[in-house]
Structure 1
């Protein structure tokens, strides 16, 4: 004998998507900036040149 399927009795309260400046976007931008800064330091250390020299701008 199979059990009858049960349907949810309550609709979940889902938040509307957020756009613009919000906590999640600011956190994500801050983490991306930290990763970018770390990569610049690694490039300068490994090449022995500054970022502008490495890009050919100086």
Structure 2
């Protein structure tokens, strides 16, 4: 049976600069950036839902200032 190279999936890269991506690494690394983005999306969604329910920090601050 012949394999078609156009439909084969590429091998998964398990290392980043010779280190495992899921190792506990400190500082700026791809894994930390993924988690930072995920938490930012969760926080933005939580604030959006909070604002849609009528509790808005920004709106309350504008009323206090103006």
* Number of residue pairs the alignment of both structures matches: 41
Tell me which protein shows more strand as a share of its residues.
2
Query: Which one scores higher on RCO, CA 8 angstroms, separation ≥ 6?
Result: 1
Q: What TM-score, normalized by structure 1, do the two folds share? A: 0.56
Question: Which residue is 1:32 aligned to?
Answer: 39
**Root-mean-square deviation (Å):** 2.1
Deviation >2 Å, runs of 4+: none
Unaligned runs of 5+ residues in structure 2 are 1-19
Larger Rg: 1
Match of 2:48 among 20, 41, 44: 41
